[in-house]
Structure 1
Amino acid sequence: MKAYKDLSKEELLTLQKQLNKEYEEAKAKELKLDMSRGKPAASQLDMEMDFMNVLNADSIFKTEAGVDCRNYGIMDGIPEARKLIGDVLGVSADNVIVFGNASLNIMYDTVARSEIFGVMGETPWCKLDKVKFLCPVPGYDRHFAITEQFGIEMINVPMTEDGPDMDMVEELVNTDPAVKGIWCVPKYSNPQGYTYSDETVKRFAALKPAAKDFRIYWDNAYVIHDLYEEKKDTLLDIISECEKAGNPDMVYEFCSTSKVTFPGSGIAALAASKANLDFIKKFMTIQTIGYDKVNQLRHVRYFKDAEGMKAHMMKHAAILRPKFEAVFHVLESELNGLGIGSWTEPKGGYFISFDALEGCAKKIVEKCKEAGVVLTGAGATYPYKKDPKDSNIRLAPSFPTPEELAMATDLFVLCVKIVSVEKLLKEA
């Protein structure tokens, strides 16, 4: 295919006329499709309905140590659940607290606690003149929403295929005491699907922060969300790397089973050093009597161990993999060589990152919406919803049926072409 930038003005006008005709035909179909969030499809939820049958009126609701999960007790999670999560993350159960249903809730509380009470004896952030967070971009909109709500200044850090720009991270963390944290999705990052390299993880662990209360917010949301058994990405354990580097307290690692069992009904956990956990537990005793141990027990009985959970995730992969590959196929066949967009092809996670020509993302998203396909808002993958290039778009293939996904991707590609031609004609 001939690159659009190499077309004459006359050729672009002819192409524009044809594309607009196709767009009007697409609008006439009155589509109502959603590719805006990484929601599991109904087929994924239906696949695991037997999860609900693990516990019933005849079940024994006691832990191996004899604690009745129907009653009060064990604030930091039943030992079996802590071991299950620890094995999934590759850390000791002693480094794990199992909370409620959402890791986002834990992250929010962790920031709020730091704002109000400080971190392990340091000055509460609310009493400081300036608090800053580093934000790898493009990144996860809900991370940015948390720090924005607390008035924390967010600093963009460019992402590479190996992870965040570590030269920039080291410079800012090691020299500026106002930098208190960095958001990370280290495996199959949201939205690009990149996995941090071994060197990147080791450089994180070896940071020498100017602030004693600096923490890495390691949101390992997709730790076992591989699309391919034989070619999955691997990630070094940040907890042990920090210990080896002499920085055992520098990281909070978060995870949940929201996209393993049922979103909103899973279990979520925090892994960190003993000193961090002891500090957090002091506040937990005031905040809660304890989390849902019955649900923790259900997860343990259903999966039995980490290998059982990983095997279950391959069932999810069997549903998700064809969807991702279908999107890759359409993008490749329709856009390759045109010079109007690039995209990632992750081996896991829930998203594909698409970069359009500069200044085109908002118009593409708007045009898709006008024709009945809802995408994540342009700019959402950047702090303050401000993409400096207005080019990044997050695609979420998981929720639509395969038939819906084919229609949605075809329309998306059409809108990319239309908006790109408009931009080139204005510059001609």
Structure 2
Amino acid sequence: MNYLKLSNCELENELKILLEKFEEIKKQNFRLDISRGKPSQEQLKLSLKMLDLDITKDGLDIFNYGILCGIPDARLLMSVILGCGSEDVIIGGNSSLCLMSDVISFFFTHGVNNEKWDINDTKFLAPCPGYDRHFALCEHFGIKMIPIKMNHDGPDIDEIEKLVSKDESIKGMWCVPKFSNPGGEIYSDCIIERIAKLRPSSKSFRIFWDNAYSVHELYEKIEIKNIFKEIKKNNNENLVIAFASTSKITFSGGGISAIGCKGDNFKSLCKHYSFKTIGFDKINQTRHVKFLTNSAKDIEESLRKHMLKHSEILRPKFNLILEKFKLNFCKNPILSWSKPKGGYFISIKTFGSAKKIVQLCREAGLVLTQAGSMFPYNLDPDDSMIRIAPSYPTLEEISKATKILILCIKISAIEKLKNHAS
């Protein structure tokens, strides 16, 4: 049924039927929160054996102070995820977001080569729809965000090149190059090559390259251009600071995180961390190395085998939602949706009624990510985008949640059409 072709009378009848179903669902007292991309209990159990490993036999004194940048094998492990050399890796605590916050703070207080960011005049380019916590960090630090359109192959590189070449107050840009949050976009070779060639007017401009989903395929393995190789080709090695963690590989609250960077960035950040800590949790680093790798030669293959177990759990959940969307909306163009090949999210583009849909879902017991949160300052110019996080619930819960979501999408679309007609 195509709502766009229905008469007002037909829309009224359809709305009446949908509202009756909605009232019935509300009586069921369904409760589910799919607002965040949390690994499910089944996924977390994949790594429980890590806690039973004997980590006392390798000779490194992992129980004492020291080894600021992390134990060598942990740096090697994270270098595979980051795409840089192990000598370019700094191991952190359990959160890559915390490392991003550290780096921003450091650029304000000390900078690189004594070039600090101006607390009163610093801007970031923010590809959107994007990751709400990136935007929240900018707001927290008072960084002005400039929205950049996200296309199917990455952010609008023409606009990026134009802006960074002219405005010295633009100091950074967020990038999630593989399975971007929330749409699952994969940066094309061309986009990555052009990013690596950027010549910003500010010498302290940095790209915050968030490799959150670099090994998180849902289906077949996908490779993207290596940003570190590209910036080296272009004699531009200070341009990128990369981040990653094992939060969605092992334990979301108990993984390890890392920074990958070169040249002045690496020297400056090492110096910064030497004042902040005498070393992060080497016990946890050792656990992760022993659990995720068999030897230095097979890290990539070991990671792949482990992540296949995650994809086997996640894939049916994504497929279920995508199939239900296709069934309900392939001939009813009030909704379009992403079809991610990896990562943790599906994004949907509604008929200009995202806030209304989120509100209706909440009334029915389904909590979604706040409408607008995929844009700087929570300002979705078209009130259209919603993020869905299928990872945490069971398949049965996902099925019920999708039914509620589809119902709310249809109700809000008809109400919108009726308002336009009047």
Normalised TM-score (structure 2) = 0.97
User: For residues 124 and 332 of structure 1, what CA distance do their matches in structure 2 show?
Assistant: 47
User: For residues 82 and 144 of structure 2, what CA distance do their matches in structure 1 show?
Assistant: 30
1:390 aligns with 2:386: no
Asked whether the 8 Å contact 1:218–1:253 carries over to 2, the reply is yes
Task: Please report how far the alpha carbon of residue 422 of structure 1 lies from its aligned counterpart in structure 2 after TM superposition.
Answer: 0.1
Q: Which residue in 2 is equivalent to 1:137? A: 128
Say if 1:206 and 1:390 are closer, same or farther in 2 by CA, change over 3 A: same
* Aligned equivalent of 2:241, options 214, 231, 252: 252
1:122 aligns with 2:121: no
Q: Which stretch of the first structure deviates more once superposed, 271-280 or 205-214? A: 271-280
Task: Please report how far the alpha carbon of residue 61 of structure 1 lies from its aligned counterpart in structure 2 after TM superposition.
Answer: 4.9
- Could you tell me which amino acid in structure 2 is paired with residue 47 of structure 1? L
1:11 aligns with 2:17: no
Task: Output the aligned Cα RMSD.
Answer: 1.0
Asked whether the 8 Å contact 2:117–2:204 carries over to 1, the reply is no
* Aligned equivalent of 1:306, options 300, 312, 324: 300
- Could you tell me which amino acid in structure 2 is paired with residue 259 of structure 1? K
Q: Which residue in 2 is equivalent to 1:94? A: 87
SS in 1 for 2:173: strand
Q: Which residue in 2 is equivalent to 1:222? A: 213
1:365 aligns with 2:358: yes
Q: Which residue in 2 is equivalent to 1:53? A: 52
Asked whether the 8 Å contact 2:33–2:368 carries over to 1, the reply is yes
User: For residues 383 and 113 of structure 2, what CA distance do their matches in structure 1 show?
Assistant: 40
Runs (5+) with no aligned partner, structure 1: none
* Aligned equivalent of 1:232, options 213, 217, 221: 221
- Could you tell me which amino acid in structure 1 is paired with residue 15 of structure 2? Q
**Deviation by residue 1:201-258 (Cα, 9 ceiling, x = unmatched):** 0000000101000000000100000011xx3332111111011111011000000000
- Could you tell me which amino acid in structure 1 is paired with residue 371 of structure 2? A
Task: Please report how far the alpha carbon of residue 327 of structure 1 lies from its aligned counterpart in structure 2 after TM superposition.
Answer: 0.4
1:199 aligns with 2:193: no
Q: Which residue in 1 is equivalent to 2:322? A: 328
User: For residues 336 and 111 of structure 1, what CA distance do their matches in structure 2 show?
Assistant: 44
- Could you tell me which amino acid in structure 2 is paired with residue 254 of structure 1? F
Q: Which residue in 1 is equivalent to 2:369? A: 376
Asked whether the 8 Å contact 2:82–2:243 carries over to 1, the reply is no
Task: Please report how far the alpha carbon of residue 119 of structure 1 lies from its aligned counterpart in structure 2 after TM superposition.
Answer: 2.7
Q: Which residue in 1 is equivalent to 2:62? A: 69
Asked whether the 8 Å contact 2:46–2:250 carries over to 1, the reply is no
SS in 2 for 1:269: strand
Asked whether the 8 Å contact 2:241–2:259 carries over to 1, the reply is yes
User: For residues 229 and 50 of structure 2, what CA distance do their matches in structure 1 show?
Assistant: 33
- Could you tell me which amino acid in structure 2 is paired with residue 132 of structure 1? K
Overall identity of the aligned pairs, in % = 46
Asked whether the 8 Å contact 2:314–2:391 carries over to 1, the reply is yes
- Could you tell me which amino acid in structure 2 is paired with residue 413 of structure 1? I
**Deviation by residue 1:125-146 (Cα, 9 ceiling, x = unmatched):** 22xx411100000000000011
Q: Which residue in 1 is equivalent to 2:404? A: 411
SS in 2 for 1:125: coil
Q: Which residue in 1 is equivalent to 2:296? A: none
Asked whether the 8 Å contact 1:361–1:392 carries over to 2, the reply is yes
Normalised TM-score (structure 1) = 0.95
**Deviation by residue 1:52-85 (Cα, 9 ceiling, x = unmatched):** 1113xxx4254xxx42101111000000110111
User: For residues 253 and 112 of structure 2, what CA distance do their matches in structure 1 show?
Assistant: 28
Asked whether the 8 Å contact 1:120–1:276 carries over to 2, the reply is no
Runs (5+) with no aligned partner, structure 2: 294-298
Q: Which residue in 2 is equivalent to 1:350? A: 344
User: For residues 57 and 137 of structure 2, what CA distance do their matches in structure 1 show?
Assistant: 36
Task: Please report how far the alpha carbon of residue 310 of structure 1 lies from its aligned counterpart in structure 2 after TM superposition.
Answer: 1.8
- Could you tell me which amino acid in structure 2 is paired with residue 372 of structure 1? G
SS in 2 for 1:279: helix
Asked whether the 8 Å contact 1:118–1:125 carries over to 2, the reply is no
SS in 2 for 1:133: strand
User: For residues 250 and 123 of structure 1, what CA distance do their matches in structure 2 show?
Assistant: 15
User: For residues 285 and 61 of structure 1, what CA distance do their matches in structure 2 show?
Assistant: 27
Say if 1:143 and 1:187 are closer, same or farther in 2 by CA, change over 3 A: same
Task: Please report how far the alpha carbon of residue 47 of structure 1 lies from its aligned counterpart in structure 2 after TM superposition.
Answer: 2.5
Asked whether the 8 Å contact 2:117–2:171 carries over to 1, the reply is no
Asked whether the 8 Å contact 2:43–2:313 carries over to 1, the reply is yes
Asked whether the 8 Å contact 1:195–1:233 carries over to 2, the reply is no
Asked whether the 8 Å contact 1:61–1:69 carries over to 2, the reply is no
Asked whether the 8 Å contact 2:317–2:391 carries over to 1, the reply is yes
User: For residues 88 and 371 of structure 1, what CA distance do their matches in structure 2 show?
Assistant: 40
SS in 2 for 1:236: coil
User: For residues 180 and 63 of structure 2, what CA distance do their matches in structure 1 show?
Assistant: 37
